[in-house]
A = this chain, B = another copy of it.
């Protein structure tokens, strides 16, 4: 039983749950399902797939996630950004053939799932964190902008081709005469109702006496109510024939037969890079939502377990013949606010969506496509986070620039190129920053044991001793800067006999850093200068000891800067601290 609960977090969660948790899960799971039905169909359409595939993904994925996942609130299913990336990858590699298109989506889900599963099994979760939050935020905002632009054709009835942001806007202006009035009217009505459901509805409900929680939960049902009302109205008016309104049309009923046919389908190799990107973006977005929600209840999630759970969810999606999935932000918050206590909420969501897929797809025939587009636009508009951009900009100009550059690149170069550019910017910025560490020549504050920057404080120094403090781990990106700082300061102080490196802020030294220090030590020996170290951290010291540098420096590593300074400046300062002795750390 212990093994079982280790493998399946669900078992442990259910065993630990209090009485009454089931009831909370039922409420939360139902609310998530209400949001999921219209959203999952809309995102399937966004990915260029039949709407029922969105429903299938919303049945299979939450079941798989509930078995393996460690987050108790994460609602897994089709999400907007992943849907857009799927469409983008498929149109790049497969073109317009709709048969191959669905097979391609299944392969993307399967490959992405396998990659996540592999990373999880190898416990490589940390490798996934190579995207900085600002870049992720810029990417998400840019993708949301692309999604909204892609929905304009459904909202206006203008038949636009797929393209980047500039092309779409230009086409829209040029062809504004082709607006289909009934479509636009329905779209604007739906948008207004959906916006009302987000904003003014809650205070209104509270004024008529509803509790705060009740009002919030009621407002979550607005998208489903809008969809039902629009479908009923379109059916009553025969809006497709009478007014030329595009409707979803016949949606296949029933649940899909699980199938492994996709294993034999062609395209695994060409789709692999996109599958990896999609899976990683889905994972990063899921895990940040899950982590934020878990911390609020003093719970925790396990990054490697999440990789396995999301991998399994995507493989489940592939087995039922549908698209890549991830944890959705808005749905998970609904789940959390609804009170989800265990992964049971996800199972209830899956069951309810399954009921819709089995029995109610016939009712969806008259659902206007423009209403689904409105649902998408309102859902993804929240992803455009101008406030975050402003805060990042205020904290750090360079990271703010990276955020904006990523968003602009997504809008103009496409979603994959934009993401890759953003990842490159994250890394370049990090290398640039840690490549220019803060380094200072330090001296002793008179009468103390504190050593401070000579440029900021009035301190005691010695012409024979150059004391340098490096405020960063020494690794390949900054070795030449560190060496350069030291050699240029030595070149400017020709009487120096001893170099003292204060290592208090050096958390690690990699092989490149070690090599630089070894070469520096030897070169300085040639030039008649002796290198000493002070305040070397335990883990750094442990590894230095057995190196050639460690052996050469034996007896020249001091516990404190003060003792080193005393020893190197000789008698000059002896009067200040009678008990001070030259104490090597070994």
A residues whose Cβ falls under 8 Å from a Cβ of B: 126-127, 129-134, 287-288, 291-292, 294-303, 388, 391-392, 394-396, 399-400, 426-428, 430-438, 471-473, 475-481, 483-484, 487-488, 490-491, 494, 505, 507-508, 510-512, 514-516, 519-520, 523-524, 526-527, 529, 537, 539, 543, 546-548
Contact between A395 and B547, CB atoms less than 8 A apart:
yes
Chain B residues positioned under 8 Å from A133 (CB to CB) = 476, 479, 511-512, 515-516
Chain B residues positioned under 8 Å from A523 (CB to CB) = 292, 295-296
Q: How far is the CB of A244 from chain B (nearest CB, A)?
A: 47
Contact between B484 and A291, CB atoms less than 8 A apart:
yes
18 A–B contacts, CB within 8 A, in A order: A127-B428, A129-B478, A130-B431, A132-B476, A133-B515, A291-B483, A295-B520, A295-B523, A296-B523, A297-B526, A298-B490, A300-B491, A303-B484, A392-B511, A394-B546, A395-B547, A400-B511, A473-B507
Contact between B297 and A527, CB atoms less than 8 A apart:
yes
Chain B residues positioned under 8 Å from A548 (CB to CB) = 391
Interchain residue pairs A-B with the least CB separation, the first 4:
A295-B523, A132-B476, A133-B512, A126-B435
Q: Indicate whether A479 sits within 8 Å of B129 (C-beta atoms), given known contacts A396-B511, A511-B134, A511-B396.
A: yes
Per the bound structure, the CA–CA distance linking A527 and B388 in Å amounts to 24
Whose C-beta in chain B lies nearest to the C-beta of A471? B507
Per the bound structure, the CA–CA distance linking A484 and B473 in Å amounts to 23
Contact between B472 and A129, CB atoms less than 8 A apart:
no
Q: Indicate whether A511 sits within 8 Å of B477 (C-beta atoms), given known contacts A294-B487, A435-B127, A438-B539.
A: no
Contact between B510 and A132, CB atoms less than 8 A apart:
yes
Q: How far is the CB of A332 from chain B (nearest CB, A)?
A: 14
Whose C-beta in chain B lies nearest to the C-beta of A478? B129
Contact between A527 and B298, CB atoms less than 8 A apart:
yes
Q: How far is the CB of A472 from chain B (nearest CB, A)?
A: 5
Chain B residues positioned under 8 Å from A395 (CB to CB) = 511, 514, 543, 547
**Copies of this chain, whole number:** 2
Q: Which of B134, B426, B476 meets A129, CB within 8 Å?
A: B476
Per the bound structure, the CA–CA distance linking A481 and B426 in Å amounts to 18
Per the bound structure, the CA–CA distance linking A248 and B565 in Å amounts to 63
Q: How far is the CB of A386 from chain B (nearest CB, A)?
A: 15
Chain B residues positioned under 8 Å from A487 (CB to CB) = 291, 294-295, 298-300
Q: How far is the CB of A224 from chain B (nearest CB, A)?
A: 29
Q: How far is the CB of A424 from chain B (nearest CB, A)?
A: 11
Chain B residues positioned under 8 Å from A483 (CB to CB) = 291, 295
Whose C-beta in chain B lies nearest to the C-beta of A481? B126
Per the bound structure, the CA–CA distance linking A291 and B511 in Å amounts to 18
Per the bound structure, the CA–CA distance linking A515 and B400 in Å amounts to 13
Chain B residues positioned under 8 Å from A388 (CB to CB) = 515
Q: How far is the CB of A407 from chain B (nearest CB, A)?
A: 15
Contact between A512 and B296, CB atoms less than 8 A apart:
no
Whose C-beta in chain B lies nearest to the C-beta of A426? B476
Contact between B484 and A300, CB atoms less than 8 A apart:
yes
